[in-house]
A and B are shown apart, each in its own frame.
Chain A
Amino acid sequence: MFAYIIRRLVATIPVMGVVAIFVFSLLYIAPGDPAAVIAGDLATSDDIARIHAQLGLDEPFLLRFGHWLWGVLHGDLGTSIFTNLPVTQLIGQRLEPTIALTLTTLVVTITFAVPLGVIAAWKVGTWIDRSVMLVAVLGFSVPSFVLAYVLILVFSVELDLLPVQGYVSIREGFVPFIQHLILPSIALGLIYGALIARITRASMLDVLSQDYIRTAQAKGLANNDVLIRHALKNAAVPIVTVIGIGLALLISGVIVTETVFAIPGIGRLTVDAILRRDYPIIQGVILLFSAAYVLVNLLVDISYTLLDPRVRY
């Protein structure tokens, strides 16, 4: 097991290398020049050319890539072209809100979606099942930014129950912290929850038709025991897989949700950096996202051994 984890961790190095080359190349050929953005509307071509050279943007591709890679290998993701602050500092400032939002969303969606999927499977064909699936279809169909605006309108502007925007650190109190995360988590989590609920239902339906479930029922076990201890545990592998894959959904959703709710997280940092062509930030953030995704996949794979004793590495 330990050797497997080490092997997988070592295997992430080439993956990250490919990501690094891909991202750097893509930004190199993408239109737009940060020097033009920096110089402002009043600048002349000469001003832009000077800033371009000053930023080292006129250096050959390999030289620029080499400089950047050397820095990354030394833990230095570079300096933001615009703010003149280290990328690691900028990412550090933004990590907490994004992690808080992602974890809250994860907890909220799993808490609701897995039981709903289980109930839908248990009551398959009934109005309960259809209602759950209707909500799931809606969850897939409503874009998160539309839902976000509706939530803001209802709960913040009309009812004045929750804040419209912003983020408050947990260090400033749990209540304001969670108040600021409720609406973003719902907006971000609906599509994710819908996915988990559907997979849970499908997976449970598969397991519930197995002979051992019938045997358990024939032995007179309570419904709760049959559902949770026997069926859900055996249906867990695909559910956990989808939860892991769904994290990619969350990462892309975070970008939209953070923009709408003005949460100063990694998502907004990325959007702002792309719009102004702040290459070091874009490269740093994408590397971070890739690393997070690889790590989550590893955790999902390891969790299989806990959920299914037949899986061994």
Chain B
Amino acid sequence: MRKVSTRVLRVAAAVALAALVAAPAAHAQSSGKTIKFIPEADLRSLDPIWTTAYITRNHGYMVYDTLFALDEHFKPQPQMVDTWKVSDDKLTYTFTLRDKLKFHDGQPVRSADCIASLERWMKRDALGQALAQSVGEMKAQDDKTFSIVLKKPFPLLLDAIGKLSSNVPFIMPERVAKTDANTQITDPTGSGPFKFVKEEWVPGNKAVYVKNPDYVPRSEPPSWASGGKVVKVDRVEWLYIPDAATAAAAINAGEVDWWQQLPPDLVPLLQKNKDVAVANVDPLGSLGVARFNHLQPPFNKEKMRQALLYVVDQKDVMTALAGDEKNWRTCYSYYTCGTPMASEAGAAPLKGKRDPAKAKALLKEAGYNGERIVLMTATDQPIVNSQAQVVAEELRQIGLNVDLQAMDWGTLITRRTVKDPIDKNGWSMFFTWLVGPDMINPALNFPLRGNGEKAWFGWPTDEKLEAMRAQWMEATDLEAQKKVAADIQEEAFTSVPFVPTGQFIIPTAYRKGLHGVIVAPVVFLWNVEKE
């Protein structure tokens, strides 16, 4: 009896194990109408006005809509707006909203919602703040029509309210938009093509969106953030998988449909899988930045900063950062290469043959005497660390006393706020990168500003740069803008607020069953269908 029981138990265990392993692949759960997507980061905040984090901006594009949106020709196109007109004196812009615009709670989108949303955005966004200085009042004519009355012309008004990247002026219900601009909103109600399922949100793991059945897309084809936002699936799940090897295995095994950003070293692995497409869907890519501390020696001296233009080799930096040449290009401009303002005006020191002798001569002129230079690098950010390692070596070769200090990104971004000398926890240089849309023109390109203590970390002071930026914002046509942008760049290559280290793309990978992925500098989930 006892032997029989043992045998029965063994057989039962074997059957259970076999059943477990052979059970219908519970791990390949994707239904035909659900896209499982690994985003670039974890969604931590739901407020795209409160934070500039790109992941929250991307969330914003899922659940909100915008009055205007940028197309692939860098032109703001009406999105929620149906018709609009501007007065002859360019001081009054009147907008009429499209029919049938509704928030996710069923309430119609009204002029009051748009005005409240713009007011909140203007308190946080740099371009919004510039616009606010020109705005006299915003008033609603009726529920569908409102106007912005300016005190002085602001030629970039449509560009501002159709801004592509953070902070994007998303339209929220008035009750939400009335929230203090310094306080996070908690209500994710928007009027965009997807609805956020807050009950299924597990920060650090998953964010879920479902199709908004009430959304009325425009009839034009999609072009970057503009055009028809036609949702072709029922549900999108953002699955945050922080470990790159696990994410690669998950897409290889078909557990996820799309991995937004994969490290260059994993590209060959995924390219071997015939069911996975590895592609570049970001036409602008990102730009590397080597930023100086302009307040402290030795980079408070212009000639010290200029010296680096003769030794930093974009090809070396980009090879370390992005590997295969298909994933990067040199970009000897302070603006995103491939966009209208980009040029090589004044770029000869950075573009020409590397010239350590010239660099050393400049160091001598600057009176450099072997002072310690603290370079901060974040070892948990490969894009930062590869730039730092290469540049540190290049600087050592011209005799700079480089102290490359490794830390994590959380520490680096805290320490870079320190304005004190290096012996008091200060710093000399750090490295980062910015997405292409943030550097396409002088109005958006914040590291290019020279407004001293109010500038981005590093705090350069350059009154000429600031005056020319104001001039650029008043330019009324493209040619005039290009001319001023080139002048700004020439000045920048003299005062060197930072050194551009090259332009790179981060490849994306998706299962070949996905179609209609939009090529744009921001990831959009509409128009994508799944077989």
What is the interface of chain A, defined by CB distance below 8 A to chain B?
Answer: 31-33, 36-46, 48, 50-51, 54, 80, 82-85, 90, 93-94, 149, 152-153, 156-157, 160-166, 168, 173, 175-176, 178-180, 182, 259-262, 264, 268-269, 271-272, 275-277
User: Taking CB as reference atom, which chain B residue is nearest A272?
Assistant: B204
Query: Among residues 198 to 256 in chain B, which have CB atoms less than 8 Å away from a CB atom of chain A?
Result: 202-206, 239-243, 245-246, 249-250, 252-253, 255
Contact A164 B417 (CB under 8 A): no
In the complex, which residues of chain A have a beta carbon less than 8 angstroms from the beta carbon of B411? 31-32
B242 lies within 8 A of A276 (CB): no
Interface contact A41-B432, CB-CB below 8 Å: yes
Q: Is the CB of B27 within 8 A of A179?
A: yes
25 contacts between A and B (CB under 8 A): A31-B407, A31-B411, A36-B410, A36-B413, A39-B52, A40-B51, A41-B413, A42-B52, A45-B419, A82-B44, A83-B44, A156-B27, A157-B252, A161-B21, A162-B27, A163-B27, A164-B249, A164-B250, A164-B255, A165-B241, A166-B27, A175-B26, A260-B245, A271-B242, A275-B380
Chain B residues contacting A163 (CB-CB under 8 Å) are 26-27, 253, 255
**Contact (Cβ within 8 A) A31 B246:** no
Asked if residues B246 and A152 are in contact (CB atoms below 8 Å), the reply is: yes
- Whether A272 pairs with B53 at a CB distance below 8 angstroms is no
Distance in angstroms between the alpha carbons of A153 and B126 in the assembled complex: 47
A-chain residues with CB within 8 Å of residue B25 when the two chains form the complex: 160
Count residues on chain B whose CB falls below 8 Å from chain A CBs: 58
A164 touches B23 (CB 8 A): no
CB distance from A290 to the nearest CB of B (A): 21
Nearest-Cβ distance from residue B526 to partner chain A, whole angstroms: 25
| A157 contacts B26, C-beta separation under 8 Å | no
Q: Does B354 contact A (CB under 8 A)?
A: no
Residue of B nearest to A46 (CB): B454
**Across the interface, do A165 and B250 meet the contact criterion of CB distance under 8 Å?**
yes
Residue contact A165 to B45, C-beta cutoff 8 Å? no
> If A84-B45, A179-B20, A264-B204 touch, does A43 touch B249 (CB 8 Å cutoff)?
no
> When the two chains form their complex, are residues A277 and B249 in contact, meaning their CB atoms are under 8 A apart?
no
Bound Cα distance from A90 to B42, whole angstroms:
15
Task: Give bound CA distance, A90 to B205, whole Å.
Answer: 11
Cβ contact within 8 Å between A39 and B51: yes
Report the nearest A residue to B446, measured CB to CB: A42
Bound form: Cα–Cα A179–B19 in Å:
11
Complex A-B, nearest 9 residue pairs according to Cβ-Cβ distance, in ascending order: A163-B27, A176-B26, A264-B205, A40-B52, A82-B44, A33-B414, A42-B52, A32-B410, A83-B203
B414–A31 CB distance below 8 A: yes
Q: With A83-B45, A275-B408 as given contacts, are A173 and B205 in contact (CB-CB < 8 Å)?
A: no
Q: Known interface pairs A31-B411, A83-B203, A259-B243. Does A45 touch B417 (Cβ–Cβ under 8 Å)?
A: yes
Complexed CA–CA distance, A82 and B245 (Å):
26
CB pair A90–B203 under 8 Å, yes or no, is yes
Q: How far is the CB of A182 from chain B (nearest CB, A)?
A: 8
Bound CA–CA A33/B253 (angstroms): 38
B26 and A173 within 8 A (CB): yes
The answer to whether A84 and B246 touch across the interface, beta carbons within 8 angstroms, is: no
Given A42-B166, A84-B184: A165 and B246 interface contact (C-beta under 8 Å): yes
Contacts of A156 in B (CB 8 A): 27, 249, 253
Q: Is the CB of B51 within 8 A of A36?
A: no
Q: How far is the CB of B170 from chain A (nearest CB, A)?
A: 16
Known contacts A84-B184, A152-B245, A276-B44, then 4 further A-B pairs from the complex at CB < 8 Å, ordered by chain A residue: A149-B245, A163-B255, A165-B246, A166-B239
Question: Does B457 belong to the interface (CB within 8 Å)?
Answer: yes
- In the complex formed, the residue of A with least CB distance to B56 is A40
Shortest distance from the beta carbon of A42 to any chain B beta carbon, whole Å: 4
User: B residues 396-420 with Cβ under 8 Å of A?
Assistant: 407-411, 413-417, 419
Provide the residues of chain B in CB contact with A182, threshold 8 Å: 20
Residues of B contacting A160 with CB < 8 Å?
Answer: 25, 253
Instruction: Tell me whether B249 and A275 are in contact (CB under 8 A).
Output: no
CA distance A37 to B56 in the complex (A): 13
Decide yes or no whether B182 CB sits under 8 A from chain A. yes
Interface residues of B in 249-301 (CB under 8 A from A): 249-250, 252-253, 255
Contact B438 A42 (CB under 8 A): yes
Enumerate chain A residues within 8 angstroms of B432, measured Cβ to Cβ: 41
How far is A200 from B411 in the complex, measured between Cα atoms in Å? 45
- B348 to chain A: which residues have CB within 8 Å? none
Find out whether the CB atom of B52 lies under 8 angstroms from the CB atom of A41: yes
Q: A157-B249, A277-B410 are in contact. Are A40 and B26 (CB under 8 A)?
A: no
Chain B residue contacts of A261, Cβ below 8 A? 246
Q: Is B141 part of the contact surface with A, judged by Cβ < 8 Å? A: no
The contact of B246 among A44, A82, A94, A262, by CB within 8 Å, is A262
The chain B residue sitting closest to A152, CB to CB, is B249
Residues of A within 8 A of B186 (CB): 84
CA distance A164 to B206 in the complex (A): 16
Q: Which residues of A contact B51 (CB under 8 A)?
A: 38-40
Contact of A179 among B23, B414, B457 (CB under 8 A): B23
In the complex, chain A residues whose CB is within 8 Å of the CB of B453:
45
Decide if B357 is an interface residue (CB 8 Å cutoff): no
Answer whether A164 and B415 are a contact pair too, CB < 8 Å, given A82-B45, A157-B249, A276-B410. no
A272 x B42 contact (CB < 8 A): yes
B52 contacts A164, C-beta separation under 8 Å: no
**When chains A and B are docked, how far (Å) is the Cα of A43 from the Cα of B51?**
9
Tell me the nearest residue of chain A to B167, going by C-beta: A42
Bound-state CA distance A48–B186 (Å) is 21
Contact with A along B453-471 (1 / 0, CB 8 A): 1111101000000000000
- Measured in the bound complex, the distance between the Cα atoms of B438 and A37 in whole Å is 19
Known contacts A178-B20, A275-B408: does B27 contact A164 (CB below 8 Å)? yes
**B204, B239, B407, B438 interface centre (most CB from chain A within 10 Å):** B204
The reply to whether B253 and A262 form a contact with Cβ atoms under 8 Å apart is no
Alpha-carbon distance A83/B53, docked complex (angstroms)? 13
Shortest CB distance B500–A (Å)? 16
A82 and B205 in contact (CB under 8 A), knowing A32-B414, A160-B253? no
Q: Verify A264–B253 contact, CB threshold 8 A.
A: no
Chain A residue at minimal CB-CB distance from B456: A44
Nearest Cβ on chain B to A310's Cβ, whole angstroms: 33
| Cα of A163 to Cα of B453 in the assembled complex, Å | 52
Partner of A40, one of B19, B166, B250: B166
* Nearest CB of A to B120, in Å: 15
Chain A CB within 10 Å, residue with most, of B23, B243, B457: B243
* Chain A residues within 8 Å of B21, by CB: 161-162
What is the CB-to-nearest-CB distance from B123 to chain A, in angstroms, rounded to a whole number? 12
Residue contact B53 to A40, C-beta cutoff 8 Å: yes
For window 16-50 of B, CB contacts with A under 8 Å fall at 19-21, 23, 25-27, 29, 42, 44-45
B434 within 8 A of A: yes
Chain B residue numbers with a CB within 8 Å of A175 are 19-20, 23, 26
Q: A residues within 8 A CB of B240?
A: 262
A166 to B36, CA, bound (A): 12
Most central of B186, B253, B419, B453 by chain A CB within 10 Å: B253
Contact for B255 among A46, A166, A271, CB less than 8 A: A166
In the complex, the answer to whether A54 meets B380 with C-beta atoms within 8 Å is no
